[in-house]
Amino acid sequence: MTGTLRPLPTTGAVTGVFEAVGFFRDPDFASRRFQEFGDVFETTLIGQRLVFIRGEQAIRDLFDQSDAVQGWWPKSVQTLLGSRSLANRNGAAHKARRRVVGQLFATAALRRYSPSIVAMVDGLADELLQSDADVALADRMRRFAFAVIATTVLGLDGDDRDALFTDFEIWTKALFSVPLAIPGSPFARALEARSRLLNRLQTVLQEADGRRGGLDLLSGGLDEAGVPLTDEDLVEQLLLLLFAGYETTASSLSCLMRALLLHQELMPWLQEELDQLTWPPQDDPTSAFDPNRAPRLQALSSEVMRMTPPVGGFFRQTIEPITLANVEIPAGRVIQVALAASNRQGDGDLETFRPQRHLDGSSQPMLLPFGGGERVCLGKALAELEIRLMTVGLLKRVRFSPVSGQNLDLQLIPSPSPKDGLMVSSAPR
């Protein structure tokens, strides 16, 4: 690090009530303040001080000082995920659980899942082609992303999966709510749903036998002291997977399809590449459409992640004073890494959707849609596989037309998703 150290700029907000209204209503909330205060500033959102950071230097500095920070989540998320969840753990306890859960996303595991993912994509293409009515594609992407985790990874089917989904939706609604368990409140209902979810996941774990899903891969997993992880511990890791892998993947798929409908000039460009690919994949589906064989698809996906990142930001808390982009941050501060704002920072046409930038060397901001450092996304390889198989499979079989008159704007929370559900009609390609 070079340059003169600066004290932390602050917006001067005290209670943070108005700041919170802006944060939830104004998509440019962070960008505006970055422009005024620089790449690192502090504000207050309803009593919670938050240091916002953007840009390559500040984010790299943060990853380089990982011993001086720890994971952080708002109290509601912390409680609903549970104290055993690796999201709420740090140091050796966090690492040990990452090692265990990471086995679910190793290449061998992805090879095991891929026939079922290919079958789901084909099932969806059949359904779309048989439907005379217009279909909300975003809803289908959500169902697909949930089914991949619930059926393909956890091995649930039929009624079990539907019951899990119902409770999961109740649980999700209270994730960013006031964490007071007043009877009848969303948070109280989410706590009840949580205990049903954990019971169900516990049963699934006990029945795991390698015939369905990947949970057998977790057996023998050890904690930081070399002691086998208890079932209570493992089920909280499984709940985290539903939380982390569902909305995010559904969002990236919906936003990718939306981008193709909004920028129809991209379709012939992508089609040239799709024409060289075979569906269903002839060889190993985990590599059939990888960035070497499908660079345009990869560029399209990167541009979707740049313009509409499924995770707009993530948190850390300082346990010692640190310096980010030459700005001094005291100990005990919560940091929000503003990915969405970082992705549009710089010179040139960064407000334009242009996948080709990732192929012609003109892409400048560092892209980190899956985070980085010790907490980098555990499901990255699975998410990327889902995106590749869904995009190639659907687009090689189905031609979509957007239903006119719908609102294609995005709602941004919890993850970007088209407001009217991305209504399309389908025809065979």
**CB nearer ligand HEM, residue 86 or residue 324:** 86
378 touches ligand HEM by CB under 6 A: yes
**Beta-strand runs (E) in 249-372:** 313-318, 322-324, 327-329, 334-338
213 touches ligand HEM by CB under 6 A: no
Going across the sheet that includes 48-53, the strands are: 40-45, 48-53, 334-338, 313-318, 69-71
Which of 331, 334, 336, 329 lies closest to 319 in space, CA to CA?
331
CB of 181 to ligand HEM, least distance (A): 25
Decide: helix, strand or coil at residue 148.
helix
**Residues 343, 312 contacting (CB under 8 angstroms):** no
CB of 158 to ligand HEM, least distance (A): 21
179 touches ligand HEM by CB under 6 A: no
379 touches ligand HEM by CB under 6 A: yes
**CB nearer ligand HEM, residue 415 or residue 426:** 415
155 touches ligand HEM by CB under 6 A: no
314 touches ligand HEM by CB under 6 A: yes
**CB nearer ligand HEM, residue 13 or residue 77:** 77
Name residue, tokens 């749903």: 193
Query: Which span (1-9, 210-218, 310-318, 401-409) binds ligand HEM, by CB under 6 A?
Result: 310-318
CB of 228 to ligand HEM, least distance (A): 20
CB of 81 to ligand HEM, least distance (A): 10
Cis peptide before 280 (omega within 30 of 0): yes
CB of 275 to ligand HEM, least distance (A): 26
86 touches ligand HEM by CB under 6 A: yes
The DSSP output letter for 346 is: S
**CB nearer ligand HEM, residue 87 or residue 341:** 87
Q: Which of the residues 228 through 267 are near ligand HEM (CB under 6 A)?
A: 240-241, 244-245, 248-249, 252
Residue from 84, 258, 375, 388 in contact with ligand HEM (CB under 6 A):
375
Task: Report the alpha-carbon distance of residue 323 to residue 327 in Å, rounded.
Answer: 5
- Ordered alpha helix ranges (H), 87-218: 91-102, 107-130, 137-147, 158-173, 186-207
Torsion 245-397-358-114 (CA) sign = positive
Residue from 297, 340, 377, 422 in contact with ligand HEM (CB under 6 A):
377
294 touches ligand HEM by CB under 6 A: no
Residue from 29, 279, 370, 400 in contact with ligand HEM (CB under 6 A):
370
- Which residues, 6+ apart, have CB-to-CB distance to 314 below 8 Å? 336, 337, 339, 371, 375
Give the count of beta carbons closer than 10 Å to the beta carbon of residue 68: 16
Alpha-carbon 119 to chain mean position: 23
- At residue 337, what are phi and psi to the nearest 5 degrees? -85, 110
Task: Report the alpha-carbon distance of residue 176 to residue 424 in Å, rounded.
Answer: 31
**CB nearer ligand HEM, residue 13 or residue 383:** 383
Task: Report the alpha-carbon distance of residue 256 to residue 389 in Å, rounded.
Answer: 13
Query: Which span (27-35, 55-63, 216-224, 379-387) binds ligand HEM, by CB under 6 A?
Result: 379-387
156 touches ligand HEM by CB under 6 A: no
**CB nearer ligand HEM, residue 164 or residue 383:** 383
Residue from 69, 120, 149, 190 in contact with ligand HEM (CB under 6 A):
149
The number of residues that bind ligand HEM (CB under 6 A) is 23
69 touches ligand HEM by CB under 6 A: no
Q: Are strands 40-45 and 48-53 parallel, antiparallel or unpaired?
A: antiparallel
**Residues 154, 141 contacting (CB under 8 angstroms):** no
Site residues for ligand HEM per CB under 6 A: 86-87, 98, 149, 240-241, 244-245, 248-249, 252, 310-311, 314, 369-371, 375, 377-379, 382-383
